[in-house]
Amino acid sequence: MNKIWHCAAYLAFSGGGVKSYIDGLISSLPDMYASDLITSFDSVDQTTYVLLHVHEGELLDKLCNQCPAVYTLHNHHPYCPSGSKYLPLQGKGCDRIMSKLGCTWGHIVDGCGSRRLKQISYDFRRAYTALEAIQRLGITVIANSDYVRSQLIFNGVSPEQVVTLRCGIMTPLSKHEPLTEEVHGQQHILFAGRIVPEKGLDWLLKSMMKVNPSIHLDVAGDGWDLERVQNLAKRLKLEHRVTWHGWCDGERLEELYRQSFAVVFPSVWPEPAGLITLEAYARYRPIITSAVGGIPEHVRDRETGILVKPNHIKGLADAINDLSTNFEKARTLGLQGNAWFHEEFTLAVHASRLQKIYDREIARFNKTQKR
């Protein structure tokens, strides 16, 4: 067991950013990581591992401090039973400390999560089990933004126990180039992601009413809220200005990036990090996004993209219009974002910093064993 093992179950098989992250580390660093995942600690002899890298709070309860281990927190689950940190009926992020009374009120009254009692019970059990395990084990938690780190500390985790390490992503396999005048002249913007209310697509559609009529929105994504936002587009008479591509990946998605002059990421909930920003940078495209959660830590406002107050229709429309009429600015933001990506957010840069955390944890564990 001379390699580091990733430990994840649901998140690693449900698709999305966590799966891409783990797959990227394993494929890029085969000498460092085992190719298989540990999905359960049942019947696992933890004393035989050089280090376990846990990615799900649900697994922490079975961790026994018998080998070095770290936990990367990709979401809000250990300090937010609903996992959203968002109050949809109020249209704002939640600033409450986790508590049974406050979070029950949030589920039932504020609609931050399911109102079904069985699901509420499960949400509470998942959150409190993970938070208590973090505190009991004293495990080093890797937060993917200072925002996530602050929320853990706010909910009682020692500051010395939490380190921020922002995400890294793989460099695109297909070729991308800086924005050209020809592409800019086509006036396409891109939304890529899940179609659910917290991703803010309805905000973007309403903003389309105030942007230059020549601007066309490409939507690459799917989700349970698709029918509602498509009906909203019809009511706003935007059918001819929006193309619904469905879920896209591979070269089909890459081509949509190439056809756009900017990527719009209008999330209204406090994203832990927001990997779409990095994906845009890797493809030389500026990002227009909301200033919520961990997103602002990944955007240099007016240098690599434009930050907008969430749900501010005029603000989002102004940012889109600004880049649509200024080719040089859009191109420069894309170039600067790409340069920042290669300095800070490639998987190689991330893995180098991760290795230092591993080394420190292995040394710390070995020191405690000698006492």
Q: Give the per-residue pLDDT at 249.
A: 86
Q: Give the per-residue pLDDT at 203.
A: 97
User: Does residue 90 share a domain with residue 200?
Assistant: no
Q: How far apart are CA 184 and CA 294, in angstroms?
A: 29
Q: Give the per-residue pLDDT at 209.
A: 97
User: Does residue 364 share a domain with residue 354?
Assistant: yes
User: Does residue 74 share a domain with residue 193?
Assistant: no
What is the phi/psi pair of residue 7, to 5°? Answer: -125, 110
Q: How far apart are CA 3 and CA 267, in angstroms?
A: 37
At 366 the three-state DSSP class reads: helix
User: Does residue 355 share a domain with residue 268?
Assistant: no
User: Does residue 355 share a domain with residue 229?
Assistant: no
Q: Give the per-residue pLDDT at 28.
A: 85
User: Does residue 242 share a domain with residue 138?
Assistant: no
User: Does residue 274 share a domain with residue 138?
Assistant: no
Residue 175 lies in a domain: no
Q: What pTM was computed for the model?
A: 0.93
User: Does residue 159 share a domain with residue 22?
Assistant: yes
User: Does residue 319 share a domain with residue 289?
Assistant: yes
Residue 158 lies in a domain: yes
CB neighbourhood size of 249 (10 A): 10
CATH number of the structural domain spanning residue 222: 3.40.50.2000
Q: Give the per-residue pLDDT at 370.
A: 67
Q: How far apart are CA 163 and CA 371, in angstroms?
A: 25
Q: Give the per-residue pLDDT at 94.
A: 93
Q: Give the per-residue pLDDT at 10.
A: 79
User: Does residue 271 share a domain with residue 292?
Assistant: yes
- Run means of pLDDT, 10 residues per run, the chain, 371 residues: 87 74 89 92 93 95 94 96 92 92 93 91 95 96 97 97 95 95 98 94 97 97 96 96 94 97 97 94 98 97 97 98 98 98 95 95 87 61
> In terms of DSSP H, where are the helices of 6-145?
10-13, 17-28, 100-105, 117-137
Q: Give the per-residue pLDDT at 1.
A: 63
Residue 84 lies in a domain: yes
User: Does residue 311 share a domain with residue 201?
Assistant: yes
Residue 176 lies in a domain: no
Provide the number of structural domains found in the chain: 2
Residue 174 lies in a domain: no
- Residue-range definition of the domain harbouring residue 26: 4-169+346-369
DSSP β-bridge partners for residue 142 = 72, 163
User: Does residue 192 share a domain with residue 151?
Assistant: no
